[in-house]
């Protein structure tokens, strides 16, 4: 399966040597802007060149083995330093960054992204030492979100997170923490006084999601189908281009987790924070039943009762 929208971001650092280049090879199929060269795998090379004692960083773009574009950017006179490179591929565009400065851009006639994007780095004409290598997949590759300058803080935040599966939690010093699905530490529950797990159906559940964005797609959640049955729900995510299917899948997973509403009281534990994972393994006093659970903490309340501090927690099942 392939798509016209996608993204890839690769970082690396190296000390340049004249005549030696670092080559990024991908399986993204691109067609040059003027369609004079057959479509081929996207490759981007980076090297340093010297012209009249002035050093330049040189980016080249290939479709297969055919060079379709190149451009250099002046670094200075005899600059012997490590180059921090960022190659940013998004939709039909590719950009090159050197030392946190955008120095290269090229727009293809078209680009086709496979479902599994492959990328590799190699060195041509010799040996170079590469460091700080990292790769990121981009669900939504826009580098900035523009907000009306008259908007207040609340409306600006709502504009940015609109139609994205973002969860907001209270942080330290009255700050807000934003996350898609990340969790914090894993903490073991101790001295549990009360445990309750209520099974709740909600309108957000879906096993088969119809996703409307720039295109139309589907998001399947087999766990919901197994536990609840076939439920179809529509997700309108017109603000998203790529990443819409991933967003719908996140909505489905969170809705299924919230079906198990877990709450408990336990002895005060100052280690706990919202979005921690609480591991529960206890023996019920009356029935001697072994209760094993794993929840994502969503709310914490601390109270003083009969001279003892108690922590009341609520959350959703981590599944």
Cβ 147 vs Cβ 157: under 8 Å? no
Greater model confidence, 311 or 88: 88
Q: In angstroms, rounded to a whole number, what is the distance separating the alpha carbons of residues 76 and 72? A: 12
Specify if 18 maps to a domain.
Answer: yes
Specify if 28 maps to a domain.
Answer: yes
pLDDT at position 146 is: 55
Give the side-chain half-sphere CA count within 13 A for 268.
Answer: 9
Greater model confidence, 229 or 162: 229
pLDDT at position 185 is: 81
| CATH code for position 291 | 2.40.30.150
Does residue 115 carry a pLDDT above 90? no
Specify if 240 maps to a domain.
Answer: no
For residues 68 and 185, state if they share a domain: no
Helices (H), 56-152: none
pLDDT at position 145 is: 55
| CATH code for position 106 | 2.60.120
Does residue 87 carry a pLDDT above 90? yes
Q: What confidence tier does 71 reach under pLDDT thresholds 50, 70, 90?
A: very high
pLDDT at position 189 is: 86
For residues 191 and 130, state if they share a domain: no
For residues 109 and 196, state if they share a domain: no
For residues 186 and 304, state if they share a domain: yes
pLDDT at position 149 is: 55
Interacting residues of 36 by C-beta distance below 8 A, sequence separation 6+: none
Cβ 99 vs Cβ 16: under 8 Å? no
Specify if 81 maps to a domain.
Answer: yes
**How many CB atoms neighbour CB 245 within 10 A?**
21
For residue 26, what are the β-bridge partners?
Answer: 119
pLDDT at position 258 is: 86
Interacting residues of 189 by C-beta distance below 8 A, sequence separation 6+: 264, 266, 269, 278, 279, 280, 281, 282
Greater model confidence, 177 or 229: 229
Specify if 161 maps to a domain.
Answer: no
For residues 192 and 91, state if they share a domain: no
Specify if 155 maps to a domain.
Answer: no
Does residue 245 carry a pLDDT above 80? yes
For residues 96 and 193, state if they share a domain: no
Which residue range forms the structural domain that includes residue 122? Answer: 2-137
Specify if 142 maps to a domain.
Answer: no
For residues 187 and 318, state if they share a domain: yes
Following DSSP, what letter does each residue of 137-191 receive, concatenated?
Answer: E-SS--S-----TT--HHHHHHHHHTTS--EEEE-GGG-EEEESS----EEE--S
H helix count then E strand count, the chain:
3, 23
For residues 107 and 192, state if they share a domain: no
Specify if 163 maps to a domain.
Answer: no
pLDDT at position 173 is: 75
Greater model confidence, 266 or 178: 266
**Residue of 250, 237, 71, 74 whose CA lies nearest to 163:** 237
Reported as a single tens digit per residue, the pLDDT across 277-310 is: 888 888 877 777 888 888 888 888 888 877 778 8
For residues 133 and 185, state if they share a domain: no
Reported as a single tens digit per residue, the pLDDT across 138-170 is: 666 555 555 555 556 666 666 666 667 777 777
Count the domains in the chain.
2
pLDDT at position 69 is: 93
**How many CB atoms neighbour CB 64 within 10 A?**
15
Q: In angstroms, rounded to a whole number, what is the distance separating the alpha carbons of residues 226 and 229? A: 6
Share of the chain above pLDDT 70, in %: 89
For residues 191 and 275, state if they share a domain: yes
For residues 123 and 196, state if they share a domain: no
pLDDT at position 57 is: 92
Reported as a single tens digit per residue, the pLDDT across 165-193 is: 777 777 777 777 777 777 788 888 888 88
pLDDT at position 77 is: 61
Domain-ending residue, one of 85, 109, 137: 137
For residues 94 and 191, state if they share a domain: no
């Amino acid at each position: 399966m392939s798509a016209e929208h996608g993204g890839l971001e690769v970082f690396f650092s190296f000390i340049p040597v004249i005549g030696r280049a670092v080559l990024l090879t991908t399986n993204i199929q691109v067609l040059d802007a003027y369609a004079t060269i057959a479509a081929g795998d996207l490759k981007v090379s980076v090297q340093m060149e010297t012209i009249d004692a002035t050093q330049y960083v040189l980016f080249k773009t290939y479709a297969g083995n055919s060079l379709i574009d190149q451009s250099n950017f002046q670094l200075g006179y005899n600059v012997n330093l490590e180059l921090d490179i960022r190659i940013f591929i998004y939709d039909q565009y590719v950009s090159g960054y050197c030392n946190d400065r955008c120095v290269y851009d090229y727009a293809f006639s078209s680009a086709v992204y496979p479902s599994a994007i492959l990328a590799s780095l190699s060195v041509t004409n010799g040996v170079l030492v590469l460091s700080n290598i990292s790769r990121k997949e981009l669900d939504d590759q826009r580098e900035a979100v523009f907000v009306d300058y008259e908007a207040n803080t609340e409306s600006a935040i709502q504009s940015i997170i609109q139609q994205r599966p973002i969860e907001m939690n209270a942080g330290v010093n009255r700050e807000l923490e934003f996350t898609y699905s990340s969790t914090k530490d894993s903490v073991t529950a101790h001295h549990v006084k009360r445990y309750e797990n209520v099974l709740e159906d909600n309108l957000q559940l879906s096993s088969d999601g119809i996703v409307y964005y720039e295109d139309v797609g589907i998001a399947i959640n087999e766990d919901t189908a197994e536990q609840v049955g076939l439920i179809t729900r529509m997700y309108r995510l017109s603000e998203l281009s790529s990443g819409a299917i991933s967003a719908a899948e996140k909505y489905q997973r969170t809705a299924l987790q919230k079906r198990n509403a877990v709450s408990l009281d336990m002895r005060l534990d100052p280690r706990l924070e919202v979005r921690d994972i609480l591991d529960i393994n206890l023996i019920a006093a009356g029935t001697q039943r072994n209760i094993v659970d794993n929840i994502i903490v969503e709310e914490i309340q601390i109270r003083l009762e009969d001279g003892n501090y108690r922590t009341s927690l609520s959350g959703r099942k981590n599944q």
